[in-house]
């Protein structure tokens, strides 16, 4: 089994880049994910159903379509991409940052849904009690609501990370498959399947992908249970 860890430099780069992209995508998605989940869970406004549909659209659209829409929007000639490149020097297309953006978009619905369900399960009486004592809404959310929804936050973040680790269609459409820059694990596996004798490399990276994703899911379950037990004790 030593061949499993006998990775080439390009394979190691794909592993490191995948973890980097998935981590950045997860962390960048967390603040807007919390805000959107709170809005959908508590808000009453016209267009709520439409917003919910837009948030979950990446789950039902073909990933290639999502990637193409990102390319049209955040590419160098796209409205958002041209503005960011000209005024801030931020370029997404054909960069690892673009891969993180694509992965973040694809994992966003899973994160929002997990957090939203946790917020909806919170007993509003506890928040109201803190409010009657003079606490402002931001303090109540940070000290009362966030600890109560922490298992959902953890689950949503890990689901987003796991989704990012396996994202392929949107990423390869938006940022292509450039070794060392945008070639993540799924892209590297695809490359191996297209060349003669690449089966061993594809199998190595497939097993590594499974191990990383399973480790993330197990860690999420363990953390959520520990947080839940600690809250029960308190």
**Which tens digits make up the pLDDT trace of 146-172?**
888 888 898 899 989 999 998 999 999
To the nearest whole percent, how much of the chain has pLDDT over 90?
45
Residue 1 confidence (pLDDT):
52
**How far is it, in rounded angstroms, from Cα 149 to Cα 196?**
49
Whether pTM > 0.85 for this model: the answer is yes
Residue 61 confidence (pLDDT):
92
Average pLDDT over residues 203-225: 84
| Span of 37-46, 117-126, 158-167 with lowest mean pLDDT | 117-126
Flag whether pLDDT at 3 surpasses 60: no
Q: Domain 6-227: state its class.
A: mainly alpha
To the nearest whole percent, how much of the chain has pLDDT over 70?
92
Q: Which residues contact 150 (CB under 8 A, 6 or more apart)?
A: 227, 231
Tallying the residues shown for the chain, one arrives at 234
The phi and psi torsions of 21 (rounded to 5 degrees) equal -65, -45
Q: Which residues contact 127 (CB under 8 A, 6 or more apart)?
A: 140, 141, 144, 145
């Amino acid at each position: 089994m030593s061949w499993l860890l006998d990775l080439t430099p390009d394979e190691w780069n794909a592993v490191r880049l995948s973890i980097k992209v998935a981590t950045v995508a997860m962390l960048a998605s967390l603040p807007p994910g919390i805000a959107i989940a709170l809005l959908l869970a508590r808000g009453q406004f016209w267009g709520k159903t439409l917003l919910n549909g837009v948030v979950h659209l990446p789950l039902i659209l073909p990933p290639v379509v999502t990637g193409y829409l990102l390319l049209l929007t955040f590419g160098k000639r796209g409205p958002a991409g041209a503005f960011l490149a000209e005024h801030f020097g931020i370029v997404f297309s054909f960069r690892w940052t673009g891969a993180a953006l694509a992965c973040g978009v694809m994992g966003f619905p899973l994160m929002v849904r997990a957090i939203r369900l946790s917020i909806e399960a919170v007993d509003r009486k506890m928040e109201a009690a803190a409010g009657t004592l003079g606490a402002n809404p931001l303090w109540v959310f940070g000290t009362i609501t966030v600890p109560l929804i922490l298992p959902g936050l953890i689950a949503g973040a890990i689901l987003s990370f796991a989704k990012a680790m396996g994202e392929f269609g949107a990423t390869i459409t938006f940022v292509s498959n450039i070794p060392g820059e945008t070639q993540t694990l799924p892209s590297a596996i695809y490359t191996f399947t297209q060349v003669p004798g690449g089966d061993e490399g594809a199998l190595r990276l497939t097993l590594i992908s499974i191990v990383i994703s399973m480790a993330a899911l197990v860690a999420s379950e363990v953390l959520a249970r520990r947080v839940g037990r600690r809250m029960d004790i308190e």
